[in-house]
């Protein structure tokens, strides 16, 4: 029986998820396909109806639909409920089950590199769906958070949400500042740099022992990461997070372990 999966959001043309998942399907001999389906926020109701009517077994959810998707679900996992956003949906006996693998995918991408999270200070740039997932996952590991966003009230809302979950979080406007000197882990979650544009503030004065992560993976090295590297920081783009959140989505859909090495090879190619 042919299984059908997809990634929905807007835009999705550059998503590497199909390459990763289809390589995994082939490697394990599964009769399954994975497609890109562009759906804008205003079309989400019709998009969900299309996916259900056409027999999709599940889908990934990307920008800008991760939070709005929740209202279409029958059940949601505790972690997705804590985050307030969903990036993975499974269809089971006609009901829609929502999950979020972004936060744990991020943790896994750094854990496999030997990063130790406890008692570190992290600064998150942005306060959208991916930032929420990462913030919750880091707070669970006793990482102190400082959340910066262009609209400060969104940063404040996320910080207060983290505090309500038992974590430690402060907030501010998205700009450089004294935090650069003490940050251990800097995570860039906004779309700035996706078209190769410069970030709107510089990293002068950053703690050179910090790890700097940009969730963008196309281009492979954004101007933000390039600048961080000039200050001696260890840098990483979003490809490993994409890999591990995809492997966790695979586990949620299929109740089996994903072939990580096959998926990584497909992404790198």
- Asked if 88 contacts 252 with a C-beta cutoff of 8 angstroms, the reply is yes
The 10 Å CB-count burial string (b at 16+, else e) for 160-174 is ebbeeeebebbbbeb
- Asked if 231 contacts 203 with a C-beta cutoff of 8 angstroms, the reply is yes
Given 4, 66, 154, 160, the catalytic residue? 66
Mean pLDDT of 68-82: 97
Report d(CA 236, CA 226) in Å as an integer. Answer: 10
- Asked if 104 contacts 117 with a C-beta cutoff of 8 angstroms, the reply is no
Structure tokens at 264: 């990584």
* Nearest alpha carbon to residue 250 among 45, 1, 30: 30
Banded pLDDT at 18 (limits 50, 70, 90): very high
* ∠ Cα 254 260 262 (to 5°): 105
Residue 132 known to be catalytic: no
* Nearest alpha carbon to residue 246 among 77, 4, 20: 20
What does pTM read for this prediction?
Answer: 0.94
Report d(CA 143, CA 98) in Å as an integer. Answer: 26
Mean pLDDT of 93-115: 97
The pLDDT tens digits for 194-249 are 999 999 999 999 999 999 999 999 899 999 999 999 999 999 999 999 999 999 99
* Whether the bond into 249 is cis, omega within 30 of 0: no
Report d(CA 187, CA 126) in Å as an integer. Answer: 9
* Nearest alpha carbon to residue 17 among 243, 259, 220: 243
pLDDT, averaged across the chain: 96
Distances (CA, A) of 70 to 77, 128, 143, 214: 11, 15, 27, 26
- The backbone region for 151, taken as left when phi is positive above 0, alpha when psi lies in -120 to 50, beta otherwise, is beta
Banded pLDDT at 95 (limits 50, 70, 90): very high
The pLDDT tens digits for 138-153 are 999 999 999 999 999 9
Backbone angles phi, psi at 44, to 5 degrees: -65, -40
Report d(CA 101, CA 81) in Å as an integer. Answer: 12
pLDDT of residue 170: 98
Structure tokens at 110: 């750094």
Report d(CA 80, CA 74) in Å as an integer. Answer: 13
Q: Which domains does the chain have, with CATH numbers?
A: 3-100+243-268 (3.40.50.10860), 104-237 (3.40.50.720)
Structure tokens at 84: 């307030």
Query: Does position 58 have pLDDT exceeding 70, yes or no?
Result: yes
Structure tokens at 66: 């991760």
Banded pLDDT at 134 (limits 50, 70, 90): very high
């Amino acid at each position: 029986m042919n299984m059908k999966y997809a990634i929905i959001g807007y835009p999705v043309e550059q998503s590497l998820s199909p390459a990763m998942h289809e390589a995994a399907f082939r490697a394990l001999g599964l009769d399954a396909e994975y497609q890109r389906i562009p759906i804008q926020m205003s079309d989400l109701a019709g998009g969900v109806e299309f996916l259900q009517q056409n027999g999709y077994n599940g889908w990934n959810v990307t920008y800008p639909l991760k939070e709005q998707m929740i209202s279409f679900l029958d059940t949601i996992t505790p972690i997705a409920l804590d985050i307030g956003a969903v990036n993975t949906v499974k269809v089971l006996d006609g009901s829609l089950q929502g999950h979020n693998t972004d936060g744990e995918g991020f943790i896994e991408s750094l854990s496999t590199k030997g990063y130790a999270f406890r008692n570190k200070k992290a600064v998150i740039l942005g306060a959208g769906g991916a930032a929420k997932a990462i913030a919750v996952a880091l707070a669970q590991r006793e990482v102190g958070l400082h959340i910066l966003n262009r609209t400060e009230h969104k940063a404040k809302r996320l910080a207060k949400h983290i505090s309500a979950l038992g974590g430690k979080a402060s907030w501010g406007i998205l700009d450089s500042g004294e935090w650069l000197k003490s940050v251990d882990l800097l995570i860039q979650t906004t779309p700035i740099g996706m078209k190769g544009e410069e970030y709107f503030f510089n990293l002068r004065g950053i703690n050179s022992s910090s790890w700097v992560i940009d969730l963008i993976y196309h281009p492979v090295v954004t101007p933000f990461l390039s600048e961080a590297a000039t200050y001696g920081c260890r840098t990483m783009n979003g490809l490993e997070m994409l890999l591990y959140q995809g492997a966790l989505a695979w586990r949620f859909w299929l109740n089996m372990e994903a072939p990580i090495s096959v998926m990584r090879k497909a992404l790198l190619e």
